[in-house]
Amino acid sequence: MDFLVSHFAEILFYILAALAVLGSVGVITLKNPVNAALSLLGTFFIVAVLFVLQHAEFLAAVQVMVYAGGIMVLFLFVIMLVSVKGLKTQAAFLSPLVPVAIIGAILVGALITSAVLLGVFATGDGGPEALQMVDGAVLGNTEAVGMVLYTKYLVPFEVVSVVLLVAMIGAIVFGRKDRFIEEQEGEVGS
């Protein structure tokens, strides 16, 4: 029991990490896209919990709302929308690229593992307080993020709003039935 209490953080992390890896494997191996999407949803939640453990409370909330609430719903919508015809013929998992991908993955894995073991990270005055500081006072993560986002990072924030506008235009351009189709069909008929 003492072991559990004293190593609670480690045990929690390993369980969450195992679940996250399991979810990721599910995303890329499950044949049915609905199952893969649910597996991805689980992974998003686990990642949100890991964010909380790293004192990124605001981001954890954003992760749940944007990813789990927004993106996943979008995915499921589209899967339901197109599944009638397209999704029956799943391509096999095996394709000519698999050996290349596996070798590449092993190489990258070995490289990064050695980097993790031998590499040096920058150090700073880490800790939860630094991530909750606003003008020298410890307020909270959301306040701190908001303060930095709307002062130093104002320009990227404005630019990213245009990115969202472009996404909206893109979805409309691709999604709507083109208004000139009817015109052309009309001409063929006349």
Partner 1 sequence: MPLEQFVPFIPEIFLAIASFVLLVGGIGLGRRGMRPLALGAVGSLVVTGILVWLFGRPAGEPEVILGGMLAIDTFAVFFKLLVLASAILTIMLATGFLERFRYGGGEFFALILTATLGMFVMASGVNLVSLYVGLELMALSSYVLVGYCKLEVKSNEGAVKYFVLGAMSSGILLYGISLVYGSLGTLDLMEIKTALVAAPQDNLVLMLGIVLMAFGMLFKVAAVPFHVWSPDAYEGAPTPVTAFISVAPKAAAFAMFLRIFAGAFSPEIDHWRSVIWLAAAMTMIFGNIAALSQDNVKRMLAYSSIAHAGYALMGVVAGTAYGTWSVLMYMLVYTFMNIGAFGLVVLLETRGYAGETVKDWAGLSKKAPAAAAGMLILLLALAGIPPTGGFMSKLYVFAAAINAGYIWLAVIGVLMSAVSLYYYFRIVVQMYLVEGEEAESGAELVRDRWAEGVVLVSVLVVMAIGVYPAPFVGWAQGGLNALGLM
Partner 2 sequence: MITATHYLALSLVMFTLGLIGVMVRRNFITVLMSLELIFNAVNLNLIAFSFRLGDLSGQILAIFVITVAAAEAAIGLGLIIALTRLKDTVILDDANEMRS
Among 118, 155, 175, 189, binds partner 2 (CB under 8 A): 175
Determine, following the binding rule CB under 8 A, whether residue 87 of this chain makes contact with partner 2: yes
CB of 171 to partner 1, least distance (A): 9
Residue 66 touching partner 1 (CB under 8 A)? no
Instruction: Determine which residue in the list 181, 188, 189, 190 makes contact with partner 1, applying CB under 8 A.
Output: 181
Q: Does 95 bind partner 1 (CB under 8 A)?
A: no
Based on the shown chain and the rule CB under 8 A, indicate whether residue 180 belongs to the binding site for partner 1.
yes
Cα 126 from Cα 130, distance rounded (Å): 7
Task: Examine residue 11 and tell whether it contacts partner 1 (CB under 8 A).
Answer: no
Q: Which of residues 141-170 bind partner 2 (CB under 8 A)?
A: 144-145, 148-149, 153, 156, 160, 163-164, 166-168, 170
- Compare residues 138 and 169 and give the one whose CB is closer to partner 1: 169
- 6 contributes a contact to partner 2 by CB under 8 A: no
Of 1, 91, 137, 155, the one binding partner 2 (CB under 8 A) is: 91
